[in-house]
Amino acid sequence: MTTQSSVEIGTEWGIVSARQAGRELSKGLGFSSVDQARITTAISELARNIYLYTKNGVIGLEVVNDGHRQGIIITARDQGPGIENLRDVMVDGYSTSGGLGAGLPGVKRLMDEFDIQSNPGEGTLITTTKWLR
């Protein structure tokens, strides 16, 4: 059984509602306060990327169970320009927006699993998972 929800990121308020949804879900699953902070921060970073670079996209939240443990999968999907330099965006300090450049590599460190698929012109799909310890 899986619980799914998705939040449209079209305005800045989408960022807030996405992370609120993540906080509720992770709290309900019994994640520790530190893991809750990790998950909401990751959602915030992903949602902000959508807002900053593509204006339109969806953050999806899903509860998974691999038979041994429960987890939460966050997906960030957009139809934006895509990322040309995948390798660069995973380097600390790389930023085209004037931010801290901690976004994607930061998300990767906060979560347990991280996958990014992107082709120029076809949008981006990021999937990242946190397991309940």
Partner 1 sequence: MRIPILKLGNYLLISIQVELDDQTALLFQEDLLNKIHQEGSQGIVIDLTSVDMIDSYIAKVIGDVVEMSNLMGAKVVLTGIQPAVAITLVEMGVSLNGVQTALDLEQGLEKLQQELEG
Interface residues with partner 1 (CB under 8 A) are 12-13, 15-16, 19-20, 23, 33-34, 36-38, 40-41, 44-45, 48, 92, 99-103, 105-106, 109-110
Nearer to partner 1, 13 or 65 (CB): 13
Range 3-6 contact pairs with CB under 8 angstroms and sequence separation of 24 or more: 3/62, 3/63, 4/60, 4/61, 4/62, 4/63, 5/60, 5/61, 6/58, 6/59, 6/60, 6/61
Task: Please check whether residue 45 is in contact with residue 89, taking contact to mean a CB–CB distance below 8 angstroms.
Answer: no
Least distance to partner 1, CB of residue 69, Å:
21
Smaller CB separation from partner 1, 87 or 120: 87
CA distance 6 to 20: 12
In whole angstroms, the minimum distance from the beta carbon of 105 to partner 1 comes to 7
| The token pair that represents 77 in the structure block | 């999907």
Q: How far is the CB of 109 from partner 1 (least distance, A)?
A: 5
C-beta of 31 vs 80, nearer to partner 1? 31
Q: Which is nearer to partner 1, 2 or 126 (CB)?
A: 126
